Structure 1
Amino acid sequence: MELNELPGSELILPGLEDILHGKNNTIGALLIAIASIRLTKAGLDIPNQPLASEPELALYAHLQQEHDDAYSYYNALLNSLNSFCSALELKSRYQ
């Protein structure tokens, strides 16, 4: 199974590219910063670039600029992140 087949990869994989190119304040990059320890333990190579500090707050602030109801989008993004992390952990456990 490839990473792009994991649930939530449509958010995480572009976030990896963003971090690689020095953009650490995009939605994907912030999600990676939120779960960087978990993702690293599951075997994901995160580019050696600075991650956003307080990524949860930065993500919520980012969403407030785009949506009237940022809370529901925030929760949906965290659920997608959790799905990706869980699938990656299972993938790494059975390889």
Structure 2
Amino acid sequence: MPPNPPGYEEVYRANGRLHADIIRGFLEAAGFTVVLYQESAGAVYGLTVGPLGEVRIFVPSAQAAEARALLAAMDRGETNASEEDEVDLDETPSDPASPH
């Protein structure tokens, strides 16, 4: 694997591109600049396990400690979402045109 991009530090390793995109979105929503790196063979074949499926996630060195702390809190389930961000998957949306 190539070295870190200049001025960036690795803060997380995800299993596959989908997992990496979720982590990237989480970090970007918190205001971080994010760069992803995956071996091209892993990306082409859609691998999600092993060295070729691993996606390395980088943020600017100045943000690395804060990003690691946020990701550690995420892994512990300690991040907070506001109640309006939460979706009740058990609730069926009602159709205003149908009778109740």
TMscore range, shorter length:
under 0.3
TM-score normalised to the size of structure 1? Answer: 0.25
Larger Rg: 2
